[in-house]
Structure 1
Amino acid sequence: MERIIEETATVVAVEDGFAWVEADRRSACGHCGSADACGTGTLAKLFRQGRTRLRIHDPMGLRNGERVTIAVQGGTLLRASFTAYMLPLAALVAAAGLATAMQLTEGLVAIAGVAGLGAGLWLSGRLTGGIQGRDRYRPILIGRAGFSAPVPFKPSGATPGNP
C-alpha cells in the first residue's frame, strides 16, 4: 500500500467546482527539535516564502476560511520530484561530461551543459504531460479538518466525475 501524505490547509478562494487553498511551507527537517539552530532550518527561513497556494477540486462546497485536509500519494510526489529535479540535472551533467570527453574547450563544455539542462527540462515537461498533465499531480481534498467522516481518498489525477 502506498503512503499518503496529508496536509492541513486554509481555503482562500472558491471557484466553480474548485477551491484555492494555502498551506504553510515547512523545512525538510521540521520534525527536529533543534530546527532553529541547524543550518538547514536557517536556510529554509531565509528562502521560504511562507505559504503555498494550490488549486484543488471541490466536491464538498467549501467556503473561504475553512480548514481542510488535502493529500497526495507519496509515490506521485516522489516521481514528480525526480522528474522535475533529477532529470534536468542528470541531462546537464551528461551533456557536460560528453563535451569534456570530446575534449572541447571550457566555453563549449559550459554551453553543452546549458543545452543539456534545457533538453532535460523539455523532456521533464513531456514526461509529466505539460500543462494538460497537471491534474495527475494535483493534491486532492480529503475532508474538512477536524471532521471524522472525510471524503474517501482517490488516486492522484482522479476528479469527482472521473474516478
Structure 2
Amino acid sequence: MIETPATVVDVKPGVAWVETVRQSACGHCESAGSCGTSVLAKVFGAPRSRLRIDDAQGLWVGEQVVIGIPDGTLVRASFVAYLLPLVFLIAVAGVATHLGAGEGSVALLGIAGLGIGLWLSGRLTGGQSARERYSPVLVRRGASADVPMPF
C-alpha cells in the first residue's frame, strides 16, 4: 500500500474531501540551493491535490488522516496512462513502415496511433467503475510521522 498524509477539508454524509501536498524531488538534492527549478518550487509553494474518499468513520474538518492506494493499482494506472499510448504509437508506425509508407506518412500515422492510445487510455481510466478502482482509501486516522512522503 502506498500511503500519504492528508488533511480533511470538507465532510458530507458518507464522504470526505481530503487535501494532500504533492511532493517533488525539488529541494532534496545537493544542488537545491543553486537550482532554478528548486527556487521556483519555493516561490510558488507545493501544489495541493483535493481527493474524495469514503467516510464510514465520521471524520471531521481539520483532522489529519493517512490515505493510500494498493501497489498494484498504481502499476496498472501507470501502464494505462503512459505505456499504452506509447505502444500504439510504435505499433502503428511499425505497421506503416512494414507496409512501405514514406517517412512523412509513418510519422503522421504514428501520431495518429498515439492519439488512439491516448483515447483508449482515457476510456479505460474514465467512468464510474474506473474512478472507484483508482480512488484512494482511508488507511487510518491521525497522520503519523513515519509515513514517507512519495516522491
Contact 2:26 2:41 in 1 (8 A): no
User: Mind listing any 5+ residue stretches in structure 1 that lack a counterpart?
Assistant: 148-163
Query: CA offsets per residue over residues 59-118 of structure 1, 9 Å max, x none?
Result: 111122211110111111111111111111121122123223333234422331222122
The match for 2:127 among 102, 126, 131 is: 131
Q: Is the 8 A contact 1:93 1:113 kept in 2?
A: yes
Q: CA RMSD in A?
A: 3.1
Q: Matched residue of 1:142: which SS?
A: strand
Does the CA contact (< 8 Å) of 2:8 and 2:65 recur in 1?
Answer: yes
Counterpart of 1:63 (choices 57, 60, 69) is: 60
Distance in 2, Cα, partners of 1:72 & 1:44: 29
Name the counterpart of 2:115: 118
Question: Does the 8 Å CA contact 1:20/1:53 hold for their aligned counterparts?
Answer: yes
Q: Are residues 1:24 and 2:47 paired? A: no
Task: Give the secondary-structure state (helix, strand or coil) at the position aligned to 1:97.
Answer: helix
Structure having greater relative contact order (Cα 8 Å, sep ≥ 6): 2
Matched, 1:50 2:47: yes
Question: Residue 96 and residue 37 in structure 1: after superposition, are their counterparts in 2 closer, same or farther (change >3 A)?
Answer: farther
One-letter code of the match for 1:34? E
Residues 118, 44 of structure 1: alpha-carbon distance in 2 compared, 3 angstrom cutoff: farther
1:9–1:68 Cα contact (<8 Å) kept: yes
Q: Normalization by structure 2: what TM-score?
A: 0.75
Given the superposition, is the C-alpha separation of residues 32 and 17 from structure 1 closer, same or farther in structure 2, using an over 3 Å criterion? same
Per-residue deviation at 1:31?
9.8
Contact between 1:25 and 1:48, CA under 8 Å: does it hold in 2?
Answer: no
Of 103-112 and 17-26, deviating more is 103-112
Percent of pairs identical after alignment? 50
Distance in 1 (alpha carbons) for counterparts of 2:113 and 2:14: 40
Contact 1:71 1:140 in 2 (8 A): yes
Q: Which segments of structure 1 move beyond 6 Å, counting only runs of 4 or more? A: 46-49
Contact 2:23 2:46 in 1 (8 A): no
Matched, 1:103 2:92: no
Aligned counterpart, 2:148: none
Aligned-partner SS, 1:52:
strand
Matching residue within 130, 138, 143 for 1:141: 138
